[in-house]
Amino acid sequence: MPEGPELRLAALYVNRACAELVFAGRVEKSEVSRNPEVPFESSAYRIAASTRGKELRLTLSPLPGARPPRQPLPIVFRFGMSGSFRLAPAGQLPRHAHLRFYTAPPAPPQALCFVDVRRFGRWDPGGHWHPGRGPCVLLEYQQFRENVLRNLSDKVFDRPICEALLDQRFFNGIGNYLRAEILHRLKIPPFERARTVLEALKQHRPSPELTLSQKIRARLQNPDLLELCHLLPKEVVRLGGKGYGSEQGEEDFAVFRDWLRCYGVPGMSSVRDGHGRTIWFQGDPGPMAPKGGKSRKKKARKSQQVPADGAEVPPLPRRRRTRKPSRKTAEGDPPPTSPRGPPGPGTTPPQAPEAPPDPEKGKRTGRRCTGRRRPQKTKASTPSGESGGTPAS
């Protein structure tokens, strides 16, 4: 799921890819998307992107003299589970491109696409930053820190620190992999009470005798939890790549995987928190760990063995599943004959099917048919001409 750094990377990609491009026409939405139409059309406009935590805003700004004359339109995006932006040739649109902005002629036609495979992403034309989200951990650090320390009486800080870190009212931009990395690098158990961890930061004040450069050096060498909420997203942004734009590829993800120390790393443990989200950690989970929660360890995948001569190892043969023959055959169907021909001497030929029973015989009322026949009881006193069977008891 894209977190604050991924949305920041997406905004940097859009600004870099669209810096020299002019767009025109109307904004096109896919037929399958349930998001609203974007009521915007212009003969010439530009696109710029900005972010705040887990939200990205595109601003469509008409150029001077563009028709029809209109004001810039902001569109706020939330990426959901798989949202991203991609610039592609207009004739080769990527799959799952649910919102498209086309460039103006005479340049080769291109489209900036919002691509969302799982369709959890949302956009809001004319919208603003969500009022329920706090300051951005990446771009508004001082406001973010003050907002957390000022509201430690909130009931969310009664919960484990791993769950509090996902509350976007206070940690706007932090997600699942960032919370695991932050707590692991500070050696904080994920199920320690959040207020216990954060109240100690109120007393943490740098010495007034230190110079500004000394304060910065001290913060970088020994960051606290709130400082790491700011520094680790900056590190991810500096890594670049992460699947955005034309430079997407396995090497981008390899760099990101090398950066991870805890999240999904072999040897680390994981357990589900109170919201059902998996938290990765090492060592003791903490006093508020869910009761009965089973801790699982990530095992390293065995690499495929390669012979010394460099020849490829042939894949193991797949086992074929065989169907068991049916126990029952349809009534009246003869058994299958051998492909070698008619049965030899001494074998019993297949019996001819019996005549179907008289539908009136054995007819009962008030009883459901279960598919099984009960043996009929015969009594000496029963008249031979009576067509009905034994009455139901």
Annotated catalytic residues are 2-3, 54
Residue 357, SS3?
Answer: coil
Angle at 217 between CA 213 and CA 220, to 5 degrees: 140
Q: DSSP secondary-structure letter at 370?
A: -
**What is the spatial distance between Cα 276 and Cα 279, in angstroms, rounded to a whole number?**
9
Cα separations (Å) of 243 from 82, 146, 202? 11, 33, 39
Please give the DSSP secondary-structure letter assigned to residue 161.
H
User: H helices within the chain, ranges in order?
Assistant: 4-17, 141-150, 161-164, 176-185, 194-199, 212-221, 225-239, 250-259
> Which 3-state string (H, E, C) describes 54-121?
CEEEEEEEECCCCCCCCCCEEEEEECCCCEEEEEEECCCCCCCEEEEEEECCCCCCEEEEEEECCCCC
C-alpha 183, offset from chain centre:
22
> What are the Cα distances from residue 311, in Å, to 186, 301, 314, 316?
46, 21, 9, 15
- Would you state the structure tokens that stand for residue 256, as one six-digit string? 């990101």
Distances (CA, A) of 114 to 33, 101, 187, 238: 11, 9, 38, 23
Of 79, 77, 83, the closest CA to residue 60 belongs to 77
